[in-house]
Amino acid sequence: MNRLVVVALVAMVGCGPAGRDETPLLTRAEATAFMETSSYQDVMDFVTAVSARDARMHLTTFGYTHEGRALPLVVVGAPDASPEAVRETGKLRVYLQGNIHGGEVPGKESLQMLLREISERRHDALLDDLVLLVAPIYNADGNERVALTNRPLQHGPIGGMGQRPNAQGLDLNRDHMKLDSPEARSLARMLTAYDPHLGVDLHTTNGTRHAYHLTYSPPLHPDTPGPLLDLLRGRWLPEMTDRVLERTGWHFYYYGNVGSPPDGEEPGWATFDARPRFNNNYLGIRNRLAILSEAYAYLTFEDRVEATRVFVEEILGFAQRNAAVVRGAVEDAEALPVVGAEIAVRSELERSAERVEILMGAVDTLYHPYSGAPMHLRRDVVTPIEMYEWGTFRGVETVTAPEAYYLPPGMEDIVSRLLAHGIQVEPVEGANLVGGEAFGISAAHSAAQPFQGRVERMLEGAWHPETVAMAEGTVRVPVAQPLGRLAVHLLEPRAEDGFAHWGLLDAWIEPGADYPIVRGP
């Protein structure tokens, strides 16, 4: 019998004898036999319905998109949806995010399925130790721009999917530092308010024909606190990989594509970018655990959703079983002093000492039944090949973190962005800054083409001692604060993803003059 007919017939039966609504609650993907993916309204209807079925779920919103769509957040396992109630539970807080790229939809579907399973009491043990913050549709505007031609070569959904950027044309997974989109500002404010210990960001791969059902990544920036990486690389991700293989027979591994990272090197398995513009790297700089998921694009749509669902289940299972260990890693990261520490402001890929075994695969080429465009479908082929892995980064330029940065009057936009990140600032009464440092700019190199709506810059120069008159309206940014590490990466003139890099300080930048932001006590 047709699936939609079955749903309609069951719906006519209504509620069960106890008054509980027993109507099957299906995602759009399930209701169309995985031919289509959920629209924004589909998601809102689903999370509204599932939250009404379970008193442990509370539907709220955490901000807005560029086009004014409210961003849904389902809080599970707290007395209510307020940040205060969530933090006061004392439980481990986990943020689960889907659909940062509007065409990469398995996370959106699997998170809805997770919420339904929780409402069916299938994951009760999780809520003993965890509070879940579930955001299934982060790039809601991009999600609505459905086309059959989005995500070429990806296998489904046949009915099309959304676009990668938001309605501004911005890739939201490049906007975590500059905060040019309302979505990124909404997310940063939510992270500050709810303060999750772990963030999980769910994607779909591009490119390489490998044999992994899903690949993953911890934070990649070399300035990520060691306790976080020790837990993720040393235990969490390897244990999860082994459990998935035993449970399903599927291979998971660290994210990568086959390529030649630095010039002259032989092809190897190379990860992506270390800069904190990316979600999982940004969370690491905020002293928080983060895990990126990339379901394999050439699985069927249904299998991508299932691989993502299994991945999330295993992450949450580890977090619940090891809640004290996970919390301890975050506390250890927070306890590391930033003032006086060496902070890596520029980085580069580093090669593994030995070759590793990478599982390569193969695909069949099919054709979309309505557009005629080619699609790739994974074949059940696993070919081990030894190659070097370019999976981590090292710092190639460091700075010693100062006690504070001082912003001159007129930088209201910069202050606004700092506050949106959750960074504390304080006004300065007029006086001379004794023992300060200024950065003398010897050169400023600009990119040939705009990227993400801005022209990237690289400054050259050096710090020198300077006594600076603090004019009325000067703002001090102390580094001895919870987000001090992030403040350094935003305000240092040579930081590879800071405000200067993104051109936000161009009005004050002039070769031969001093950088407008000074360092001092």
pLDDT one-digit tens code per residue, 345-375: 999 999 999 999 999 999 999 999 999 999 9
Q: What is the DSSP string of 424-440?
A: --EE--SEEEEEEEEEE
Domain boundary among 349, 373, 391: 349
Question: Given a cut of 90, is residue 4 above it in pLDDT?
Answer: no
Average pLDDT across the chain, whole number? 94
* Domain membership flag for residue 160: yes
Q: What angle do CA 446, 451, 452 make, to 5 degrees?
A: 140
Element (H, E) at 19: none
When pLDDT is cut at 50, 70 and 90, the band that residue 129 belongs to is very high
Per-residue confidence (pLDDT) for residue 18, from 0 to 100: 44
Question: Given a cut of 50, is residue 215 above it in pLDDT?
Answer: yes
DSSP assignment letter at 508? G
Per-residue confidence (pLDDT) for residue 207, from 0 to 100: 84
Domain boundary among 349, 375, 390: 349
Q: Is the dihedral of CA 102, 107, 113, 115 positive or negative?
A: negative
> 343 and 416 share a domain?
no
CB of 172 within 8 A of CB of 181? yes
* Domain membership flag for residue 372: no
Per-residue confidence (pLDDT) for residue 272, from 0 to 100: 94
Element (H, E) at 488: helix 484-491
Q: What is the mean pLDDT of residues 305-313?
A: 98
In a 3-state reduction of DSSP, which class is residue 35?
coil
> 311 and 433 share a domain?
no
Q: What is the mean pLDDT of residues 501-505?
A: 98
> 333 and 411 share a domain?
no
* Domain membership flag for residue 368: no
Per-residue confidence (pLDDT) for residue 2, from 0 to 100: 39
> 327 and 434 share a domain?
no
pLDDT digits over 419-448, tens only?
A: 999 999 999 987 888 899 999 999 999 999
> 202 and 323 share a domain?
yes
CA-to-CA distance for 13 and 138, rounded, in angstroms? 35
> 326 and 435 share a domain?
no
* pTM for the whole structure: 0.94
* Domain membership flag for residue 394: no
Per-residue confidence (pLDDT) for residue 264, from 0 to 100: 81
When pLDDT is cut at 50, 70 and 90, the band that residue 24 belongs to is confident
CB of 373 within 8 A of CB of 367? yes
Per-residue confidence (pLDDT) for residue 434, from 0 to 100: 85
CB of 130 within 8 A of CB of 138? no
Structural domains of the chain, count: 2
Q: What is the mean pLDDT of residues 161-177?
A: 98
Backbone torsions φ then ψ of 167, nearest 5 degrees: -70, -20
Question: Given a cut of 50, is residue 161 above it in pLDDT?
Answer: yes
Q: What is the CATH number of the domain that holds 254?
A: 3.40.630.10
> 55 and 140 share a domain?
yes
> 128 and 20 share a domain?
yes
CA-to-CA distance for 221 and 276, rounded, in angstroms? 7
When pLDDT is cut at 50, 70 and 90, the band that residue 21 belongs to is low
In a 3-state reduction of DSSP, which class is residue 515?
coil
When pLDDT is cut at 50, 70 and 90, the band that residue 14 belongs to is very low
Q: What is the mean pLDDT of residues 450-461?
A: 96
> 106 and 230 share a domain?
yes
DSSP assignment letter at 408? P
Per-residue confidence (pLDDT) for residue 261, from 0 to 100: 79
> 150 and 34 share a domain?
yes
Higher pLDDT, 265 or 397: 397
Per-residue confidence (pLDDT) for residue 20, from 0 to 100: 53
Domain boundary among 349, 364, 392: 349
* Domain membership flag for residue 395: no
Provide the domain limits for residue 186: 3-349
pLDDT digits over 375-384, tens only?
A: 999 999 999 9
Cα maximum dimension of the chain: 80
* Domain membership flag for residue 378: no
CB of 182 within 8 A of CB of 64? yes
> 180 and 241 share a domain?
yes
- Interhelix angle 106-119/301-321, rounded to 10 degrees, is 50
Question: Given a cut of 80, is residue 12 above it in pLDDT?
Answer: no
Q: What is the mean pLDDT of residues 41-51?
A: 98
Cβ atoms < 10 Å from Cβ of 482: 16
Burial 386-419 (b: 16+ CB within 10 A, else e): ebbbbbbbebeebbebbbbbbbbeebeebeebbe
> 268 and 181 share a domain?
yes
* % residues pLDDT > 70 (the chain): 96
Question: Given a cut of 50, is residue 1 above it in pLDDT?
Answer: no
* % residues pLDDT > 90 (the chain): 91
Q: What is the mean pLDDT of residues 403-425?
A: 97
Per-residue confidence (pLDDT) for residue 72, from 0 to 100: 98
Per-residue confidence (pLDDT) for residue 15, from 0 to 100: 44
* Domain membership flag for residue 386: no
Q: In which order are the strands placed within the sheet that holds 431-446?
A: 426-427, 475-478, 404-407, 518-520, 431-446, 457-470
* Domain membership flag for residue 202: yes
When pLDDT is cut at 50, 70 and 90, the band that residue 266 belongs to is confident
